[in-house]
Amino acid sequence: MTLDLTVVGAGQDAEDKWAREISRLVEAGQVTVTGRASAGGVLGQIVFVDGQWIGANAELEKLDRRGRAVFLIVPESSGVPKALADGRVDDVLIHPFRPLELLSKLRQYERVLMWDEVSRMNESFSQLIGRLREDLQLAERLQKSKLPLRFPEVPGMKAHSRYLAGLRSGGDHFDIAESRDKSRISLVLTDSSSYGLSGSILAALMTVAVKLSAEETRSCAETVKRIHAELAATLGQKDKLSMFYGVISRKDLVLRYLNLGSSCAFHATAGAPFRQLAAQGGLITQAAGLPSLAEGEIRLGPDDRFALISDGFVEAVGGAMPMCNLLDRFRKKDALDAINEMTYSVKSKFTEPDDMPEQDCTAVLFDVDSRVLRLA
């Protein structure tokens, strides 16, 4: 750190005299000693004021001390200056000067000024962090607005969900819909790697939903192909998409599904532990395209529980197997207890009250009513 030293005294000649004497005592190139600042100019980082100058007190009254130290030059025979006792100066420098004392004081105040600069930078950084947190909170509200706050009531099934907005761009989207004739229930969970892809997938879902007629058989494979076709024009080279799409038939309570990417689905029949449902393919990307689609299938029965969980929650608990174990521990309890435990696994890693997970976390648990009947 190079110090800029300014001398203030009784006129230019006196100031130059003090400046020359101080310059001889400091190492060349380490400090810069200037005369009095011009009108409206900025004084140096350390200001030497001649204490024997008749105008010293007036100068000290109007001197802006922010970001600089002020030394009062006093003769060796002087007592304690009133300006030092009043706190109008930071230190005194006794004349005739002692080289070691002068250099020691300069180095001491160099560190003081450095820490003062660091403090200002930290304050500025804290303000920036505060603004970023406000932006993140806004992003969280926008992300939450994409997730339905209340799902339509589906006879024979109860759905519980939890969503935590993450720091990464893009994020999760979950939706559930019942066909017009009440014979099918569609489920979709997507995880997009960018905000652009997130917007595109929402538009694609809406477009495909409009194109599918009420009479058309909603094959998972056919629906996912249509969604992919809608995305093909906007899918970027770095975009990555996970998608779970499933359809539950009310006639036989069979869930037919496609699970592509990193989201996980789990199923437990009455009295049995959870098992993870097999995935049919990896992430949807521009390079990989759409893999060959072979639907998975499970039959739901009374007291079954089905869980659809994005990788944000799965990674927070340590992977798919620990997630199975967590779901098993809460199998006989309300589904919300299991969701709260997942949420705790994420938030227990936070260090600040307003921290957010690295990525979106979505969990949806479905409980099948014990009295559910298959439609004839």
Measured distance CA(180)–CA(224) in Å, rounded: 20
Q: What is the pLDDT of residue 37?
A: 45
Label residue 250 exposed, middle or buried (CB < 10 Å: 0-12, 13-18, 19+): buried
Residue indicated by tokens 């589906």: 154
Rounded to two decimals, what is the model's pTM? 0.58
Walk me through the domains of the chain, giving residue ranges and CATH numbers. 3-120 (3.40.50.2300), 147-368 (3.60.40.10)
Contact status, residue 195 vs residue 219, Cβ threshold 8 Å: no
30: phi then psi, degrees, rounded to nearest 5: -90, -25
Instruction: Please name which of 316, 314, 308 lies closest in space to residue 357, comparing C-alpha atoms.
Output: 316
Question: Prior bond to 96 cis, omega within 30?
Answer: yes
Q: Give me the tens of pLDDT residue by residue for the chain, a chain 376 residues long.
A: 456 677 777 677 777 777 777 777 766 445 565 555 443 445 567 788 887 787 777 778 777 777 677 888 888 877 778 788 787 888 888 888 787 777 777 777 777 767 767 777 777 777 777 677 666 666 655 555 554 445 556 667 888 888 888 888 778 888 888 777 778 888 889 998 887 777 777 777 776 765 554 445 567 888 888 888 888 777 888 888 899 999 988 888 899 999 998 899 999 998 899 999 998 888 888 888 776 778 899 999 889 999 999 999 999 999 999 999 999 999 999 888 999 999 999 999 888 878 889 889 999 999 998 775 544 3
Cα distances from 248 to residues 54, 78, 214, 310, in angstroms, run: 94, 95, 15, 20
Any alpha helices (H) in the chain, and if so which ranges? 12-25, 56-62, 82-85, 99-146, 195-211, 220-231, 311-317, 320-329, 335-347
Residue 251 CA to its chain's centroid (Å): 45
Contact status, residue 81 vs residue 89, Cβ threshold 8 Å: yes
Specify which residues 281 forms β-bridges with. Answer: 260
Contact status, residue 242 vs residue 311, Cβ threshold 8 Å: yes
Contact status, residue 286 vs residue 292, Cβ threshold 8 Å: no
145 phi-psi bin (left φ>0, alpha ψ -120 to 50, beta other): alpha
Contacts 24+ apart (CB under 8 A), 24-28: 25/97, 25/99, 25/102, 25/103, 26/102, 26/103, 26/106, 27/103
Could you give the 3-state DSSP secondary structure of residue 255? strand
Alpha carbons within 13 A on the beta-carbon side of 34:
14
Q: What is the pLDDT of residue 76?
A: 80
Q: What is the DSSP code (8-state) at residue 156? A: T
Measured distance CA(246)–CA(259) in Å, rounded: 8
Measured distance CA(224)–CA(234) in Å, rounded: 16
